Structure 1
Amino acid sequence: MRAPIGTFDSARPAPECLDELVAPVADAVRRWKGDVPAESIVYVDTDPEKADTAVFVEHYGRDLLEASANCVVVAGRRGGETSLAACLVLSTTRADVNGVVRRRLGARKASFAPMETATGLTGMEYGGITPVGLPEGWPLLVDAAVAELPYALVGSGRRRGKLLVPGRALAELPGAEVVEGLGLPAGGNRE
């Protein structure tokens, strides 16, 4: 099979390579529901030594820069309560944690969750967190620009390997809400 984007040596439908995925991601693929069939999710093998964005796109294809999305775990606090959510934004942007995310969570303060919290609760590796297979009940805020992509390159739950997922399938994930303006220009503010 040839990957729909990028130039990967190995590309297979995710349901055919569940053993390459961490348990929560493999379970989500097994139980997949929605208008987009699970076979449309493509697993590509990647070298974790080439994970730096500049090196990654040089090796696997320049078209990936505009199709790459980062999934980050955020913690919102109000009073003594903390709520967790995931945000999915283009890799050329950053999540508007202090604005859009904070308001969506109804939090007084929001920040990126500590690495130990993010990896411990998702069952995924740092640098490989994906929106596929997040803990039940977590909100997933998906930037509208990601939902509009024919295919988005996201983590696979491990540092080795990535998933190519149609943007509209990401918008259908459990707990997903498509949000305009979730991603800010990298290094920029919305003022």
Structure 2
Amino acid sequence: MRAPLGNFTDVRTAPEALDVLVEPVARAIRHWAGPVPAEEVYWVDTDPRWADTAAFVERYGRELLENSANCLVVTGRRGEARSHAACVVLSHTRVDINGVVRKQLNARKASFAPMDFATGETGMEYGGVTPVGLPVGWSLLIDAAVADLPYVLVGSGRRRGKLLLPGKAFAQLPGAVVVEGLGIEVPGA
């Protein structure tokens, strides 16, 4: 099987890869619903030794540079109230945490969640957090640029392996809101 992007040697549809996914992600794939079928979501094997962006695209394909996304966990605070969200932005951008995220969460202050909180609450590995299988009740903010792409590479819940999803599939995930301007271009990137 060939992936829609990249040069990967081990490619499976997500339903065929349940044995290599962390439980929250596998559960989300088993209960997948929406207009994009689960068979259009792929798991690809990637070696964590090639996680650095330059090495990754050299090994797996240059087109991945413009078609990869990061999923980052944030916490919003207003007084004693706390809210949590995951933000998905293209990997060559950064999350507008003090503008767009703060407003979306109706928070006075927003910050990136500590690693132990993000991994503990999601059941995923640091460096592999994915929007597929997030905790119930969390907001999921998707940059519109991600949703507009034919396919996007994102974490799989583990450091080894990635998911390839049609951009429009991100909008069908539980709690998803597509937001313009969530990802800000990084000068010089």
TM-score range, shorter chain: over 0.9
**1:13-92 equivalent positions in 2, closer than 5 A:** 13-92=13-92
Equivalent residue number for residue 135 of structure 1: 135
2:104 partner SS: helix
2:66 partner SS: coil
Mapped to 2, the partners of 1:24 and 1:4 lie a distance apart of: 24
Q: CA deviation at 1:82?
A: 1.2
Q: Does 1:4 align with 2:12?
A: no
Q: CA deviation at 1:132?
A: 0.3
Mapped to 2, the partners of 1:57 and 1:158 lie a distance apart of: 19
Q: Does 1:99 align with 2:109?
A: no
Mapped to 2, the partners of 1:106 and 1:176 lie a distance apart of: 16
Q: Superposition RMSD on alpha carbons, in Å? A: 0.8
1:154 partner SS: strand
Q: CA deviation at 1:114?
A: 0.4
1:128 partner SS: coil
Mapped to 2, the partners of 1:105 and 1:187 lie a distance apart of: 26
Give the % identical residues.
71
Q: CA deviation at 1:185?
A: 1.0
Q: CA deviation at 1:187?
A: 4.9
Count of residue pairs the alignment pairs up: 188
What are the ranges of 5 or more consecutive residues in structure 1 without an aligned counterpart? none
Q: So what's the TM-score if we normalise by structure 2?
A: 0.98
1:83 partner SS: strand
Mapped to 1, the partners of 2:128 and 2:186 lie a distance apart of: 20
Equivalent residue number for residue 123 of structure 2: 123
- Kindly provide the amino acid, as one letter, of the partner of residue 9 in structure 2: D
Mapped to 2, the partners of 1:49 and 1:82 lie a distance apart of: 36
Distance 1:72 1:40, change over 3 A: same
Q: CA deviation at 1:15?
A: 0.1
The Cα offsets for residues 67-116 of structure 1, whole Å up to 9 and x where unpaired, read as 00000000001101111000000000001000000011000000000000
Mapped to 2, the partners of 1:165 and 1:26 lie a distance apart of: 15
Mapped to 2, the partners of 1:170 and 1:102 lie a distance apart of: 21
2:43 partner SS: strand
The Cα offsets for residues 41-65 of structure 1, whole Å up to 9 and x where unpaired, read as 0000000000011110010000000
Mapped to 1, the partners of 2:186 and 2:20 lie a distance apart of: 32
Mapped to 1, the partners of 2:30 and 2:49 lie a distance apart of: 29
1:71 partner SS: strand
Equivalent residue number for residue 145 of structure 1: 145
Task: Return structure 1 stretches of 4+ with deviation > 3 angstroms.
Answer: none
Q: So what's the TM-score if we normalise by structure 1?
A: 0.97
